[in-house]
Structure 1
């Protein structure tokens, strides 16, 4: 459906506009300077295949999509598209703000090559899916970003393209409509549509896409199975920025309980009243080795070393596990576990340990750890470390569930005798 070969894009400066125009016609002319934003990008999308594109802001993802859709011309390389393409690039791109949503839908569909009869047939479907009520006949310049996305997505998908290109548009809007969009994507993919999706939502890329492309500073950092490429991107994003694939990665994929030195937190937040200090927080597997890569279904321990600087009666020790998006997955404390904290004076130190049965799904998670005053009505933190460490859950490839946790469901069936 799509073949991208050795694609590159450079922005050049010339001595004059005449030199720039001469370059358009292939005449020999020399630029003053050039800046490459994409170089040596090659990949393909088969019919019915979904490919995700991941990378940091400024990596060149949006430029790549503009080259594929033809809104920009490549400096080198080629793009071959075999089929009708629909794209949602910059939000509201191509909409006339003075026209209504209905008028914009008609004009955009006409530019896509549909005749009046086809447009009149599909317009009610666009209106129904967008579900913005009377605003569909109001000027777009009064729309919120979420309403613009609703119309743009409804228009791009109601005509059922053979290749759909989406650039971060699904990050806008309410959760219910986002889920509606993903349901439509899943339905169309099952019917043979191809998808090229740019998203910072790594879990969505893993769930929807079978393959992924990782672009880093305009270069192809990796193309392959979506799960592997997303994990490589997360290691780069949250760990060592100079990370490169090496032989240690092979052993990492074989062992479900390892210490990955690239999983380093760079934006920890720490605060408290100073009566105690959480000196260290780490994870251990059952053989008492420090780890930050844990296999699902295993047991691990959240451990900490706490130093007291003043008298503290019955401190409450707490932890919280979150996703990279900040969603709280699980947390508890010694009070909920019916554990008494004891009494500690200045210079006392304690070692704390929570035993956790791991039922988390594949992904990267963050840990908060804190010490509270058990006797305080406000439950104030004596010391709290937010995002004190990060860890990765790693399972076998053959997952028999989806979501953030594995609830170990079982199934039984018997004849109904009624």
Structure 2
């Protein structure tokens, strides 16, 4: 079983003021330094337990790829330590280790030996690698004629030819077609279910929340948050909209979940209710029941434009449905301070049984990334039960009409 322990990890690069400074530091006597240190990561500490799946998120330049390179040993840390137990398979950069003039098959043998396979093992695994990659006759053509998607297919097939103790994946899976991405994530889930420890960097919110047990947010080279994927993703979402005057707060709810609220505060949510057809507030509804999501807002400072956005999320934090009043062409304009606005959103709850939450956004733009007055996760939590529909699986109720011809 694989484990990863990262303790007080840091990475800095030397920056020299002139091209001669590096030479001077090498040849001139004394302890004078001719460089400054540019820190890209500092004070990073976390543990990944055996069989655990952990997602690393953050904006570009936050230090995610550098962290993975240090964990896999391709880059050495400036400070701190990394302890790894178990065999590691890593997919960091697309086609890393592939030679463009060699065929795919030849590159499989080279890449496989870098991972630690013997030639005999690679030969025995080759049929399975070819079958999973699905690149056909291209396996015996030079890699230079491959598309980026084909390189990813072959690289992933080699890295996962045998179930590793630890699987580390950077953004490489974002390349290629949707079919192979689904196929790859199915294999990742299968390995994780069999005990493989997973460390993955991805901007795919759904992937992180569906696969990972916890997530780590990197911001400006430091750990900004570590916790449940939904809470970390909500906080990351708030940081993306962080502008001057914006506040980001997190509160622990009675159910133990962490609510994220951010915004500049010109307009805020004052009440959120889920109403049945009789206008009564409810916390549990039937599959397919007609309901109204009622959102009451208060304007605290004059705004020229107000858009309400909402989304319904499942228990893993994945959005089942969402839209806003910009897209429905119901924008409110020129609102004075003290104005109260009520939004009644009517819809049939065609959702599968389970617990759901509502996220809300009050903005002056098209999305909460522009003029974010208030973004509120876990604004409302409700349950959906099934007592009147046929038994079905999934997160959506799609009433079937089945014709049987014998």
Q: For residue 177 of structure 2, what is the aligned residue in structure 1?
A: 174
- 1:72 and 2:75 matched: yes
Partner of 1:285, secondary structure, is strand
Q: How far is 1:220 from its partner?
A: 0.8
Q: Aligned match of 1:194 in 190, 194, 197?
A: 197
**Deviation per residue, 1:257-279 (Å, 9 max, x gap):** x9x751579xxxxxxxxxxxxxx
Counterparts in 2 of 1:133 and 1:41: CA distance versus 1, 3 Å: same
Whether the 8 Å contact between 2:247 and 2:263 is mirrored in structure 1 is no
Counterparts in 2 of 1:404 and 1:12: CA distance versus 1, 3 Å: farther
Q: For residue 355 of structure 1, what is the aligned residue in structure 2?
A: 346
Q: How far is 1:83 from its partner?
A: 1.1
Q: For residue 262 of structure 1, what is the aligned residue in structure 2?
A: 262
Whether the 8 Å contact between 1:364 and 1:391 is mirrored in structure 2 is yes
Q: Aligned match of 2:5 in 3, 6, 14?
A: 3
Aligned partners of 1:283, 1:72: CA distance in 2, in Å?
Answer: 50
Aligned partners of 1:5, 1:262: CA distance in 2, in Å?
Answer: 31
Aligned partners of 2:362, 2:320: CA distance in 1, in Å?
Answer: 10
User: 1:316-355 alignment to 2 at 5 Å?
Assistant: 329=321, 353-355=344-346
Aligned partners of 1:196, 1:363: CA distance in 2, in Å?
Answer: 29
Q: For residue 300 of structure 1, what is the aligned residue in structure 2?
A: 293
**Deviation per residue, 1:137-191 (Å, 9 max, x gap):** 1111111111111111111111221111100122112112111111111111111
Partner of 1:40, secondary structure, is strand
Whether the 8 Å contact between 1:86 and 1:164 is mirrored in structure 2 is yes
- 1:34 and 2:37 matched: yes
Q: How far is 1:97 from its partner?
A: 1.2
**Deviation per residue, 1:125-147 (Å, 9 max, x gap):** 11111001111111111111111
Counterparts in 2 of 1:13 and 1:155: CA distance versus 1, 3 Å: same
Whether the 8 Å contact between 2:4 and 2:83 is mirrored in structure 1 is yes
Aligned partners of 1:157, 1:51: CA distance in 2, in Å?
Answer: 18
Q: Aligned match of 1:387 in 360, 367, 386?
A: 367
Whether the 8 Å contact between 1:238 and 1:264 is mirrored in structure 2 is no
Q: How far is 1:329 from its partner?
A: 3.6
Q: How far is 1:20 from its partner?
A: 6.5
Q: How far is 1:398 from its partner?
A: 11
Q: Aligned match of 1:211 in 214, 217, 225?
A: 214
Aligned partners of 1:398, 1:194: CA distance in 2, in Å?
Answer: 33
Whether the 8 Å contact between 1:126 and 1:158 is mirrored in structure 2 is yes
Aligned partners of 1:242, 1:366: CA distance in 2, in Å?
Answer: 17
Aligned partners of 1:231, 1:59: CA distance in 2, in Å?
Answer: 17
Aligned partners of 1:323, 1:135: CA distance in 2, in Å?
Answer: 44
Q: For residue 273 of structure 1, what is the aligned residue in structure 2?
A: none
Q: How far is 1:395 from its partner?
A: 7.0
Aligned partners of 2:182, 2:224: CA distance in 1, in Å?
Answer: 30
Q: For residue 142 of structure 2, what is the aligned residue in structure 1?
A: 139
Q: Aligned match of 2:272 in 270, 285, 290?
A: 285
Equivalent pairs counted in the alignment come to 340
Mean alpha-carbon deviation: is it higher for 91-100 or for 28-37? 28-37
Segments of 5+ residues of structure 1 without an aligned counterpart are 266-279, 289-294, 305-317, 337-349, 370-384, 410-418
Q: How far is 1:59 from its partner?
A: 0.4
Partner of 1:10, secondary structure, is strand
User: 1:18-97 alignment to 2 at 5 Å?
Assistant: 18=23, 30-97=33-100
- 1:157 and 2:165 matched: no
**Deviation per residue, 1:14-46 (Å, 9 max, x gap):** 454456769xxxx95624211100000011111
| RMSD between aligned residues | 4.7
Counterparts in 2 of 1:282 and 1:163: CA distance versus 1, 3 Å: same
Q: For residue 346 of structure 1, what is the aligned residue in structure 2?
A: none
Partner of 1:99, secondary structure, is coil
Aligned partners of 1:367, 1:7: CA distance in 2, in Å?
Answer: 39
Counterparts in 2 of 1:255 and 1:114: CA distance versus 1, 3 Å: closer
Whether the 8 Å contact between 2:292 and 2:344 is mirrored in structure 1 is no
Whether the 8 Å contact between 2:129 and 2:157 is mirrored in structure 1 is yes
Q: How far is 1:331 from its partner?
A: 7.0
Q: For residue 234 of structure 2, what is the aligned residue in structure 1?
A: 231
TM-score, normalization: structure 2? 0.69
Aligned partners of 1:43, 1:171: CA distance in 2, in Å?
Answer: 25
Aligned partners of 1:7, 1:404: CA distance in 2, in Å?
Answer: 42
Counterparts in 2 of 1:91 and 1:18: CA distance versus 1, 3 Å: same
Aligned partners of 1:83, 1:365: CA distance in 2, in Å?
Answer: 43
Mean alpha-carbon deviation: is it higher for 96-105 or for 188-197? 96-105
Counterparts in 2 of 1:222 and 1:367: CA distance versus 1, 3 Å: closer
